[in-house]
Chains A and B, each alone.
Chain A
Amino acid sequence: DAKTTQPPSMDCAEGRAANLPCNHSTISGNEYVYWYRQIHSQGPQYIIHGLKNNETNEMASLIITEDRKSSTLILPHATLRDTAVYYCIVRASNTGNQFYFGTGTSLTVIP
């Protein structure tokens, strides 16, 4: 599975959009980009995933560059409850395989 690079920490003002970048320059054609987050010591929470098209759901939007070497997770209106560690994971879609969690980006939403 391809390695990802994320900034270790970011701040965002409450109510503003939070844009979390991820580099995955070695991504393969069959690998998806997944985003999870972990609030304090709770279980990782699935946010969104995509292959090559931009995706949006009720939680966030995922923008994947055309060459697929990087992506951005967008939380459109950050709240204090969005303070968490955000993990960008690239993985082939083989059911039953593990997710490799890196160190992620620690997002702090500031009032």
Chain B
Amino acid sequence: SAVISQKPSRDICQRGTSLTIQCQVDSQVTMMFWYRQQPGQSLTLIATANQGSEATYESGFVIDKFPISRPNLTFSTLTVSNMSPEDSSIYLCSVRQGGNEQYFGPGTRLTVT
């Protein structure tokens, strides 16, 4: 299984600012994913980030709001830009190994005031 770490684990930010979340994996993986979990809700996929290509965003999510970098096979960042209180969520990084099982990081709890 893959071990995934995220930084920061939580943050409180003011509206209008930006936060960059880091995701580090202990092994090389091709497919990385970023999810959002709003309070009391299930997970929603933001984008798929494959190394060497542009991230693919799901409907309702745009690159200007959630820019993603994937510089190598073990690391990715997600930036939440120009934040508003509606962006308060848990943001989770995930990887898929061997084309099958998917693993998740511990999440970043973001509160926007």
Chain A complexes with chain B: no
Chain B contact residues, CB within 8 Å of chain A: none
